[in-house]
Amino acid sequence: MPDVIMPRLSDTMEEGELSRWMKQVGDEIHKGDVLAEIETDKATMDLEAFDNGILEELLVVAGALVPIGAPVARIGDGSNIVAAGAAPAAPIAAPAAVVVAAAPAATPPTDAPTPATPTATQTGELRTSPLARKIGREHGIDLHAITGTGPQGRITRTDVDRAIVAQEATASAASTAPLAAAPAAVSTDSVSVPVSRIRAVTARRLTESQAVPHFFLTSVVNVERLVAFRADVNESLAALGTKVSLNDLFVRASAVVLRAHPEVNASWGDGVILRHNHVNVGVAVATDDGLLVPVVTDADQKSLGAIATETRALAGLARTGSLSLAQMSGGTFTISNLGMFGIDSFTAVLNPPEAGILAIGAASDVPAVRDGVLVTVPTVKITLTVDHRVLDGAVAAAFLRDLTALLEEPMRIVL
């Protein structure tokens, strides 16, 4: 039977950390069984078996960093079992340029470990996660002075956090010592806040986004009919216990126009433009740990009621940290709405590799003349951020023009 390999679990994944084996050599394996837990740059995922048989050999130890496609275990008929006591291969070192976020660490304790013998392999290479290395570099921590508490002495983020606490405590004591006799109180100017896994990934991806040549287009939408249309829809859906938000209407409208403008439903990929066959709209959700973007797949094929139900469920999962990797993957376009915070307009940062993201502001009344009478009209400013490698100004402008027209004639949203 073929080897069990490290799968690609996200579009940004280059390697995964096999954090824990759930099965052992000699166990009977059935298709769909969870063999191990894998930490990626986005989440902790299950590694499932695709074959039936006997787990004959574990090729890597728990805590190993494994490139995509590399074998991690072997499943067979049981005739080639490697003794459970035999040591599997040592962890595979991560490339220096690759940063893979580990799971969020608990609040570091106030006491720090005493520096001890460096945690290293026989070749002198430190066993540490990419995130631990990154945080260590940012805080000037010498990882060679840390004793790892992870599998096989691996240095974890928690170990680094403890070292940071110890370093800050030492620095604070040194800085206050000369002032011990002074009556004035001494206070710190800032507090070091450990970065969550979500925040670390967000920082990396948005830094990548800033390297993309992009431009912005803004349109003002008369949402008078859209607001009235939403009220009619919610009245008809009341019996089903479903309510449609303005954001749901923007998701559906964007999906419809993306279907008519496939050149916008695209991304840049290693020198080629990828036009996607599915319209999958990501919806930015703010959480306590950072920004998450769950994806409404095939949004152009779903009803308003279905979109409303799905976006509400996805937002709830995002805020409780329960989103699966599949629910955050495969987006082809993103919507970010800050209207509920009273923000009139803003420009959103691209969510790579997508070619476009729509920023939606708050509805506000503006004066207008109708039949010779001065009235107020509710309007919303929408701003499209565009990857200039994929789209030129005229093409993006045509998309925004048609989206504006659809929002102002909302009956066409459901067609």
List the catalytic residues: 388, 392
CA distance 331 to 385: 16
- Using DSSP's 3-state secondary structure scheme, residue 206 falls into helix
Give 69-115 as a DSSP string: T-EEEEEESSTTPPPTTS--BPPPPPPTT-----PPPPPPPSS-PPP
CA distance 278 to 333: 11
- Using DSSP's 3-state secondary structure scheme, residue 172 falls into helix
Give 273-315 as a DSSP string: EEE-SS--EEE-EE-SS-EE--EETTGGGS-HHHHHHHHHHHH
DSSP-assigned letter for residue 128 = B
Cβ proximity of 332 and 390 under 8 Å: no
CA distance 26 to 405: 64
- The b-or-e profile of 250-260 (16+ CB within 10 A means b, else e) is bbbbbbbbbee
Cβ proximity of 243 and 237 under 8 Å: yes
Where are the strands (E) in 166-306, listed by range? 214-222, 266-269, 272-275, 281-283, 285-286, 291-292, 295-296
CA distance 286 to 80: 50
Distance (Å) of CA 414 to CA 27, 94, 226, 264: 53, 49, 12, 21
Cβ proximity of 336 and 385 under 8 Å: no
∠ Cα 275 278 282 (to 5°): 100
